[in-house]
Structure 1
Amino acid sequence: MAKGDEIRNELTGPGGRSVLQIGKVHGDLVWQQPPAPQSADESLREAVWRLARAVRDASTGVVQKWGISGSGALSVQWCTADDDLVDHWENIHDSNEPVPLEGHFTAVRETYQAVRSKRLVIVGQAGAGKTVLAHRLILDLLDTDGVTGPVPALFSLSGWNPDSTDLQPWLIQQLLRDFGFLHDKNPVTGETQAEVLVKEKLILPVLDGFDEISHQHHRAAISKISNIDYPLVVTSRPDEYREAAHAVKAVGRAAAIELQAVAREEAHRFLRLSASKSRSREWDAVFDRLNTQPDQTASQNLTRVLTTPLMVMLARTVYNDTPDHDPHDLLDIQRFPIATAVEDHLLDAYLDTVYARSDAGQRSARDPNWDPDRARHWLGYLATHLTQRDTHDLTWWYLPATLHRRTRILVTAAVSGLAAGLCIGLAAGLKMGLVSGLTMGLVFGLGFEVVFYRWLAERGPERLRLGPRWRDREPRSWLSHHKKSRSEFTSGLVLVIVIGVAFGLIFELAVGLMVGFAMVIVLALGDSYDPHATAPWTLLSRDRAVALVRTTTTIVLGFGLSYAGTKLPYGIAFGFLLGMWGLASSSWGSWLMFARLWLPLTGRLPWRPKRFLEDANARGVLRTTGAVYQFRHTRLRDYLADHHRS
């Protein structure tokens, strides 16, 4: 091989180290070792690194949106929690001497590392800053340990039922939901990387919101959290955690700290330093009144409100970011006779402020400018849905669940009946189309609700990536996809059994087999689970692609089967019916029918719900946690739900 003026021979590929060279010798013989395939350990290290980067990006976004990443951040302080919230000190660090855990916002890492067991419970009142402090701890630990130690990752406990699921399997489910690249499997054991990370203790779970678990599950939650023997962090409101600790015991081998109320001087410092000079003087006047007339009702109300970081942050947004608001208004006893009235005012004015901004999230001129009152109404509808389901996770594929079951049946029946009537009417006449459409629409509406709706909600959207097989890094085993294939085939068969009832069971089994096979064909075209399919709308686009391919395949097969024994118009009608009903049984089809049609038509959501949710996230009203949206704070969700109901 010639390389410039140098002539040499290269040998690439597997083989022994002894090589016999015959003929003319051109330079030195160079052994070129081919790149070794990536080992399981290397793949795991890459997964740890990618997870750490994703977690760091998410936590950085949270602290930046709250404006608490700089040196002027609001200083939250804490002390060692009451003794009944702490496990025996002998279990924590082999000594009965308590460890002082006092600290402040920028020293949370030092407090955590002072606990030898590395198991810490953070308790604080609503709005005290528990979640934000957890994100700060995650960032500090990643900055210290890099990716050499366990990766700290936040898990929202609101969706965990400890009576039915152990903690480790649930952690694995959450990792797979939020980080698609952890679906990759170990070529030897067949375990996903999420399973390996949890079992090898390479995850430091930050379990956020113990109080958000249903009350009847608190005892089981304490027991199952105590049973895992590696480092962790738990956050909770104090009353809920105290009640569970008294009923069972505190989390095993865990120390506990309790967040303190924000001092008046600290709230004053933060608000004046984050404002303009003129607005700072107005804050000085407000706090001067709080200091000189502390016994007045207005002073007591405002002092109480400004003891939580949440309300201090809202006051900064409402009064420091808008020139037409005067902080003196907060002392108006006629408008705000009690402290909760001040809190409600800040929450309401916060929404008006963020939706009045023209630069929220660096929006372009094409982005919608939502009316604050309409936005409040739509957000209130979503918040009511979440409180009724007793969850904080908002997903696009669960939006049909905001409707009453009877409404879902009627809407599904109407849409499918209209489609059936149109197709059959074109083939057999208007009268036959009306009768058949009404009958088949009602049958499919009931069948969809009874059979498919629960299945769709539990399964969630498709993560399948359609494309050629050669893109996979490793060959796919059909045996590993047997369960998925069986599920696809069964769902197709059940779909056409429902349709067959409307047809009087004619060709039911044959058509069911054809549609079932169509769904398996779609699975065969799938490359793998998409490692990037974690963001909510990436999941929507993946599910839409799968639904459209499956629908097209079903139409072709249904048309072919029908045309073999009927006239052409009937074959076309029957093929389109099968395709449209298959589309309706997908997560994207359900989203299209309810979230894009019925909910906007009835005023519950805007006509562009995807754009609305994205915009709410950009404005800071919603936050993303993996594949789900959540309201910025529980207090905001509950306020919007109460406002909507009233």
Structure 2
Amino acid sequence: MRRSLQVVEAGEAGSRRHRLVWRAAMMATGLALVLCAVWVARALARGGLAPQDQATVVGLLVAVLGAVPGLIALRRRAEVDLTVATDRLALHVKNAESGQWQRLLGQDRMPIDIGFAFRAAGSRTATPPDTPAGRLSQVADDFSATRPRRLVITGEPGSGKTVLAVKLLLALLNGREPDDPVPVRLSLAGWDTTQPFTHWLAERLVQDYDRDPRIARELVADHRIVPVLDGLDEMDSTQTPLGASRSRAALRALDAYQDGTEGAPFVLTCRSALYDTLTDAGYDALDTARIDLEPVTPAQAITFLESRRRGRPERWQTILDTLRTCENSMLARALSTPWRLTLTAVVFADSGDPADLLAHSAPGEVDAYLLERYLPAAARMHPTRPEQYTAEETARWLGVLARHLAAGPSGPGTDLVLHRLWPVGGRRRVRIVERTLALFVLLPTVFFGFLGVWEYAQLDKRFMPLGLIAFGVAVLAVLLRATRRHTPTPRLTGLPRKGTAARRRMSRHRWRVGMTTGVAAALLAFLVFWPDHLFLFTFVISPLTALALTCEFGLLLGIAAGLSAKQPDDVAVDAADPRNPLRDEVTAGLTSAISYGLALALPLMTLPLLPPPDWQHMGIAGHELRFSFVENPALAVACMIIIVRTPAARRYLALLLCTRSHLPWRLGAFLSWARDAGMLRTSGIAYQFRHRELQEWLARRL
């Protein structure tokens, strides 16, 4: 098994890196051809190619033809050997979950060997092991002996459900044989249950683990994946009716998840109260075993704390003696969950006296004491940047965000999504600053637009009034768009991975947008450039030149519109990092601005290539064409596109400007740092507090 996993992932066929290399090669080849064509056209316009130039052109064509076989070979299809593909996925999952395991344990590797007990899971349960071990250290043995291998892990908040699921996953990977399926952990919070479970599972393999879409579908269809589904209780808010909840729909889908004549294997985690409610209402997955996590015993707490003693281990002796001699003490009750024990180990890892816990008379006081000291301790234990932020800054900034979640319109929330945090800065204040930012970009738009109208009015005076009216309408439309009151959502234009249904839908959408815009642009160019005064101005040129300019405008604007088209509603948006949506919107906005600017500028830049008679009809000599004929319209269009295409990023910038006194300037970087320190976790594009207790304590803290 170990040898089969020694597979190099870099450059794997079908991976993102492989596709990027192929696209870069294709773009370089295409750019070389375009530059060659432009150079040849200009040379022909000046009187022809010299003999040495003809040899250069022939040599370039031969080089391009020679590169074609290499590009075809580079674009090879991914391997179809499912055994190799499964082994590669197993290595990928193991590497990812090993890091998550250490973060869950407070930058350590030694877990609490918590116990669990099998219990009835509904109307019909799976067959549990004859003699279950009921320990975290042997959970893989119990799971393998269950028939069918369908398991629900339930427990109270902080009882270690995710820790047990990750332990089971890593144990299955460590003991995996070449033909065994691969356990893959997935967050249920992002599953739209209207999508079939197997389709969603394949797409998660594509998006989260960078698998080739065709291979991902085959792995799921061949049941080479054991889904480890974390957080059934995180799929709905507390106000969602049970009958309309996604958790109910998820259980129904898992019940129908089939492998031949038996139910297909899966692992599911959920809080006990919610799962009891679902099963009592008849919403359960048949043939499923359920295990309930047990409280941590004083003996287990002692073993765990002894394993975490570093530097002056005698500091721990007092509370260890208390746990040994008083098993029903307040301290034993307070330290009865893995979450509180992990808090204790982190807080006193390198300083402090654990005996201070004995000065408190209730578990709630112990919780407050530990939470007060948890953030500074977690910051000191950060794996890469322990001194990035001070403890005071960390607590103050996280407290602001926790209070924002507590004041949600529909009750306390859990998700910190960057582009939805703008109310933290004050709704009215943030909107005013956002509109001011839009005006700053709109001012150069007006300047360059007026210069463009004035330049073209020199060719025909009648252009001035109509040009000003058209430009004024465009500016007004942009201004109205920039002052809307709704919460903007990042406009993503990236393509889902090739081979997925989402990619096909997005490609069809881009084709439609590009074709519609291209035809409209070509018709407008036809009215402007075509002979016989079809338009009001005297831009009269030859039919051949008019046809060339018409096609050029239509093609370039169609390509720009297609490339910058936003994703339709039925295309899923995936982000590996919660900061990616805003980054993608900024990238998409700049790309759109450059694309539309070039689409407008390139046809105008070809005017010097027109034969002299055409210029004479326009009343100007070719060599007198000023760069401002191209520059001003292109810059005006680019500025308007930036305003229209970056509303979420602009409002996020307004938030940062309005919260300079109580949030960091690089808010996204801070939240990412807090996640790495174990204070936060991520779920899709949202940051979440590591534990609900931590969030509620920070919200109460002033």
Q: TM-score, normalised to structure 2's length?
A: 0.65
Distance in 2 between residues matched to 1:360 and 1:69, nearest whole Å: 8
Q: 1:178 aligns with which of 204, 208, 228?
A: 208
Q: What residue is the counterpart of 1:485 in the other structure?
A: 510
Whether the 8 Å CA contact 1:63–1:135 is kept in 2: the answer is yes
Greater C-alpha radius of gyration: 2
Distance in 1 between residues matched to 2:383 and 2:129, nearest whole Å: 46
Q: What residue is the counterpart of 2:162 in the other structure?
A: 131
Distance in 1 between residues matched to 2:648 and 2:416, nearest whole Å: 14
Whether the 8 Å CA contact 2:201–2:220 is kept in 1: the answer is yes
Name the SS for the 2:152 alignment partner. Answer: strand
Matches within 5 A, 1:345-424: 345-355=369-379, 357=380, 360-363=382-385, 369-383=388-402, 388=408, 410-424=432-446
Letter in 2 for 1:122: I
Q: 2:363 aligns with which of 334, 339, 345?
A: 339
Distance in 2 between residues matched to 1:393 and 1:47, nearest whole Å: 34
C-alpha deviation, 1:243, in angstroms: 0.6
C-alpha deviation, 1:108, in angstroms: 0.8
From the superposition, tell whether residues 522 and 157 of structure 1 become closer, same or farther in structure 2 (CA, over 3 Å): closer
Q: What residue is the counterpart of 2:357 in the other structure?
A: 330
From the superposition, tell whether residues 213 and 618 of structure 1 become closer, same or farther in structure 2 (CA, over 3 Å): closer
Q: What residue is the counterpart of 2:293 in the other structure?
A: 259
Q: 2:232 aligns with which of 191, 195, 210?
A: 210
Q: 2:89 aligns with which of 36, 51, 56?
A: 51
From the superposition, tell whether residues 488 and 417 of structure 1 become closer, same or farther in structure 2 (CA, over 3 Å): farther
Distance in 2 between residues matched to 1:59 and 1:304, nearest whole Å: 31
Distance in 1 between residues matched to 2:629 and 2:400, nearest whole Å: 43
Letter in 2 for 1:330: L
Q: What residue is the counterpart of 1:190 in the other structure?
A: none
Whether the 8 Å CA contact 2:493–2:564 is kept in 1: the answer is no
From the superposition, tell whether residues 143 and 581 of structure 1 become closer, same or farther in structure 2 (CA, over 3 Å): farther
C-alpha deviation, 1:48, in angstroms: 2.8
Distance in 1 between residues matched to 2:315 and 2:575, nearest whole Å: 49
Whether the 8 Å CA contact 2:582–2:649 is kept in 1: the answer is no
From the superposition, tell whether residues 562 and 66 of structure 1 become closer, same or farther in structure 2 (CA, over 3 Å): same
From the superposition, tell whether residues 583 and 148 of structure 1 become closer, same or farther in structure 2 (CA, over 3 Å): farther
Q: 2:318 aligns with which of 285, 289, 294?
A: 285
Q: What residue is the counterpart of 2:598 in the other structure?
A: 556
C-alpha deviation, 1:310, in angstroms: 0.8
* C-alpha RMSD over aligned residues: 4.6
Distance in 1 between residues matched to 2:496 and 2:122, nearest whole Å: 46
Distance in 2 between residues matched to 1:382 and 1:245, nearest whole Å: 35
From the superposition, tell whether residues 38 and 60 of structure 1 become closer, same or farther in structure 2 (CA, over 3 Å): same
Whether the 8 Å CA contact 2:188–2:235 is kept in 1: the answer is yes
Name the SS for the 2:350 alignment partner. Answer: coil
Letter in 2 for 1:340: G
Distance in 1 between residues matched to 2:587 and 2:432, nearest whole Å: 27
Whether the 8 Å CA contact 1:123–1:236 is kept in 2: the answer is yes
From the superposition, tell whether residues 463 and 395 of structure 1 become closer, same or farther in structure 2 (CA, over 3 Å): farther
Q: What residue is the counterpart of 2:665 in the other structure?
A: 607
Q: What residue is the counterpart of 2:117 in the other structure?
A: 79
Whether the 8 Å CA contact 1:262–1:308 is kept in 2: the answer is yes
199-208 or 553-562, larger mean C-alpha shift:
553-562
Letter in 2 for 1:143: N
Letter in 2 for 1:235: T
Matches within 5 A, 1:222-241: 222-229=251-258, 230-241=264-275
Name the SS for the 2:96 alignment partner. Answer: helix
C-alpha deviation, 1:338, in angstroms: 3.7
Whether the 8 Å CA contact 1:62–1:132 is kept in 2: the answer is no
Distance in 1 between residues matched to 2:294 and 2:100, nearest whole Å: 21
Distance in 2 between residues matched to 1:391 and 1:201, nearest whole Å: 36
Name the SS for the 2:383 alignment partner. Answer: helix
Letter in 1 for 2:443: G
Distance in 1 between residues matched to 2:167 and 2:160, nearest whole Å: 10
Uncovered stretches (5+) of structure 1, i.e. residues with no partner: 1-34, 187-192, 466-471, 497-509, 524-531
- Aligned-pair identity in percent equals 26
Deviations 1:490-533, CA, capped at 9 Å, x for gaps: 9989xx9xxxxxxxxxxxxx99997553133579xxxxxxxx98
Distance in 1 between residues matched to 2:474 and 2:309, nearest whole Å: 64
Matches within 5 A, 1:233-632: 233-276=267-310, 278-279=312-313, 281-289=314-322, 299-300=329-330, 302-319=331-348, 321-323=349-351, 325-333=352-360, 338-355=362-379, 357=380, 360-363=382-385, 369-383=388-402, 388=408, 410-425=432-447, 428=450, 439=476, 442-446=479-483, 449=486, 453-454=488-489, 456=490, 460=492, 462=494, 482-486=507-511, 489=514, 515-520=557-562, 534=576, 547-559=589-601, 572=631, 574-584=633-643, 589=646, 592-603=649-660, 605-623=663-681, 629-632=687-690
Name the SS for the 1:556 alignment partner. Answer: helix
Whether the 8 Å CA contact 2:90–2:173 is kept in 1: the answer is yes
Distance in 2 between residues matched to 1:134 and 1:547, nearest whole Å: 41
Letter in 2 for 1:419: V
Whether the 8 Å CA contact 2:115–2:293 is kept in 1: the answer is yes
Letter in 1 for 2:637: L
Letter in 2 for 1:582: I
C-alpha deviation, 1:347, in angstroms: 2.3
C-alpha deviation, 1:139, in angstroms: 0.8
Q: What residue is the counterpart of 2:43 in the other structure?
A: none
From the superposition, tell whether residues 349 and 593 of structure 1 become closer, same or farther in structure 2 (CA, over 3 Å): same
From the superposition, tell whether residues 342 and 575 of structure 1 become closer, same or farther in structure 2 (CA, over 3 Å): farther
Name the SS for the 1:101 alignment partner. Answer: coil
From the superposition, tell whether residues 396 and 249 of structure 1 become closer, same or farther in structure 2 (CA, over 3 Å): closer
From the superposition, tell whether residues 414 and 117 of structure 1 become closer, same or farther in structure 2 (CA, over 3 Å): same
Q: What residue is the counterpart of 1:167 in the other structure?
A: 197
Distance in 2 between residues matched to 1:401 and 1:56, nearest whole Å: 40
Uncovered stretches (5+) of structure 2, i.e. residues with no partner: 1-72, 259-263, 452-467, 522-550, 566-573, 608-617, 619-624
Deviations 1:24-58, CA, capped at 9 Å, x for gaps: xxxxxxxxxxx999777626545433322221112
Distance in 2 between residues matched to 1:251 and 1:322, nearest whole Å: 46
Aligned residues: 540
From the superposition, tell whether residues 521 and 461 of structure 1 become closer, same or farther in structure 2 (CA, over 3 Å): closer
Deviations 1:102-142, CA, capped at 9 Å, x for gaps: 42111010110121100011111111111011111111111
Distance in 2 between residues matched to 1:313 and 1:353, nearest whole Å: 12
C-alpha deviation, 1:274, in angstroms: 1.5
Name the SS for the 1:362 alignment partner. Answer: coil
Name the SS for the 2:229 alignment partner. Answer: strand
Letter in 2 for 1:134: A
Distance in 2 between residues matched to 1:371 and 1:489, nearest whole Å: 51
Distance in 2 between residues matched to 1:209 and 1:146, nearest whole Å: 28
Q: What residue is the counterpart of 2:175 in the other structure?
A: 144
Name the SS for the 2:80 alignment partner. Answer: helix
C-alpha deviation, 1:548, in angstroms: 3.3
Distance in 2 between residues matched to 1:303 and 1:428, nearest whole Å: 76
Whether the 8 Å CA contact 1:489–1:520 is kept in 2: the answer is yes
Deviations 1:81-113, CA, capped at 9 Å, x for gaps: 2x2x24524xx24xxx98453421110101101
C-alpha deviation, 1:572, in angstroms: 4.4
